[in-house]
Structure formats: C-alpha cells, structure tokens
Amino acid sequence: MKKTISFIAAVTAITVINGPKAHARINCNHDPVCQAKRDGTSVATAAARDEAMTRCLAAVGYAQADWHARSVPAGPATKVRSCFRANGVPE
C-alpha cells in the first residue's frame, strides 16, 4: 500500500513539474523579440527565420497561419520544407 501511494505521489510530482512543457508552442505573432526569448536565439536570428518562413510560404501562395493550421497540401508543403532547410528555418 505504501509503495502504491509513493508511486502515485511520484507520478503526480513529475506531471506537475513537466506539465507546463507539454503545452502548445507560444505564438509570438511575428514579434522577433518574443521569438528570440522562446527559441533561445538572438533577435536578429529570430527576425531572419520569420522572414524566411514568410518568404518560403508566400512562394507557394500560403501564409504562416495556413502552415500552423496544417492546411498546406502535400505538394506545396514539400517545396516549403525544402525552402525551410535551405534557409535554416526549423520545421
């Protein structure tokens, strides 16, 4: 019985400690300062990534909102991922 209670307490503690990390990614709405804090990069790097992401998506006729909503079809999405890799944008 004591082992069961200890196990439940340990699982609860781990869940409480790690729970906030499991939430959805912070949406910074193109704010490079917010993106830099979120990603642990410089503001210049965050701004360059955001511009590259916007440029890659615009090249196939979509916006970042479409990408995040997963509404970009497979064909254009392959081109976007290729552009992301070429520009150093993490998927």
| 61 band by pLDDT with thresholds 50, 70 and 90 | very high
- At 46, list the tokens: 């965050």
DSSP state of 72: S
Total of domains in the chain: 1
> Smallest Cα–Cα separation from 28: which of 3, 49, 9?
49
In a domain, 16, yes or no: no
**Model-level pTM?**
0.65
Separation CA 64–CA 69 (nearest Å): 8
57 in a structural domain: yes
Q: Is residue 40 situated within a structural domain?
A: yes
Please give the mean pLDDT across all residues of the chain. Answer: 84
Burial of residue 54 (number of CB atoms within 10 Å: 0-12, 13-18, 19+): middle
Contact 90, 59 (CB under 8 A): no
Give 17-56 pLDDT, tens digit per residue: 655 555 567 888 888 999 899 889 999 999 999 999 999 9
Domain that holds residue 50: 27-87
